[in-house]
């Protein structure tokens, strides 16, 4: 059994400054780096790439809606062409920074509202794939496990990674519980670790109402901005390894 652990990075300057980000990098295998849409600038991108390289963690792009005021978590009405162009510019910006640091991008994971909308919106999924393809098709596209967006990405010619979440609760239909609900986040490291192990070992996740769903994933996310994220990531990595699951990035497995 093998699984990648990914985390959204370079979004919070304070997390870079206080050592939170470097602590998270000790537990994960793939970093999704904010690249100027919902968050991030050249300085945070460079620092995050350099930290990831020191930790032996794969670097990927984390493009979102160009809406820094709302951290990319509000749905925007953008044309498919505008979305594709925005995605391309964000991925290209990070790739240029990474190249200067001696790193190459491995994957792309959409952020926030863009990700959640694309789960069921074929046109939006296509726009994401089109934007990434303008830069390169030699990247892994992450998308929600068991969702139609993965097939759209495959049809566009990309390798895909089905993603599950350790620190988010699910709806019975397999989508993520909206952050507008108080129980959307899993803040207890032990509970997050248990959910991650259930996904990695048994391909099962339990929704917030107790419904059990089949879910096959190649990567599991821990959000860097979840309260206690460092403890959550460490608990997840430890639980998986103690159970005999190999934790490794796409280029390492």
Are 96 and 36 in contact by the 8 Å Cβ rule? The answer is no
At residue 8 the predicted structure's pLDDT band, cuts being 50, 70 and 90, is very high
The pLDDT of residue 233 is 98
pLDDT for position 1? 86
pLDDT of amino acid 203: 96
237-250 confidence digits (pLDDT tens): 999 999 999 999 97
The confidence score (pLDDT) of residue 212 equals 97
pLDDT confidence of residue 119: 95
Tell me which residue of 191, 201, 204, 188 sits closest to 242, measured CA to CA.
201
Which residue, among 81, 93, 58, has the nearest Cα to 128 in the 3D structure?
Answer: 81
3-state SS, residue 180: coil
Q: How confident is the model at residue 173 (pLDDT cuts 50, 70, 90)?
A: very high
Residue 70 φ/ψ, nearest 5 degrees:
-110, 15
Distance CA 41, CA 175 (A): 30
* Across 215-243, average pLDDT: 96
Tell me the pLDDT band of 93, cut-offs 50, 70 and 90. Answer: very high
Task: Write the Ramachandran bin of 228: left for phi over 0, alpha for psi from -120 to 50, otherwise beta.
Answer: left
Question: Where do runs of H (alpha helix) occur along the chain?
Answer: 13-17, 20-25, 42-55, 80-101, 112-118, 122-135, 148-155, 189-197, 229-242
């Amino acid at each position: 059994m093998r699984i990648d652990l990914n985390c959204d990075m370079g979004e919070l300057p304070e997390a870079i400054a206080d050592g939170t980000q470097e602590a998270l990098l000790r537990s994960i295998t793939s970093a999704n780096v904010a690249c100027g849409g919902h968050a991030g600038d050249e300085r945070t991108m460079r620092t995050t790439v350099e930290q990831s390289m020191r930790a032996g963690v794969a670097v990927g792009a984390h493009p979102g809606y160009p809406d820094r005021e709302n951290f990319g978590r509000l749905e925007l009405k953008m044309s498919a062409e505008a979305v594709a162009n925005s995605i391309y510019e964000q991925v290209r910006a990070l790739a240029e920074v990474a190249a200067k640091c001696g790193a190459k991008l491995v994957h792309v994971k959409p952020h926030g509202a863009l990700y959640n909308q694309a789960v069921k919106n074929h046109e939006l999924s296509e726009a994401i794939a089109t934007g990434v393809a303008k830069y390169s098709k030699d990247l892994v596209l992450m998308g929600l496990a068991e969702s139609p967006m993965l097939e759209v990405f495959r049809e566009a010619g990309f390798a895909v990674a089905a993603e599950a979440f350790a620190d988010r609760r699910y709806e019975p239909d397999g989508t993520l519980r909206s952050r507008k609900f108080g129980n959307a986040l899993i803040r207890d490291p032990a509970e997050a670790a248990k959910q991650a192990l259930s996904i990695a070992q048994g391909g099962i996740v339990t929704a917030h109402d107790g419904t059990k769903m089949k879910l096959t994933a190649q990567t599991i996310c821990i959000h860097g901005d979840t309260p206690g994220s460092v403890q959550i990531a460490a608990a997840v990595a430890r639980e998986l390894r103690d159970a005999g699951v190999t934790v490794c990035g796409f280029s390492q497995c």
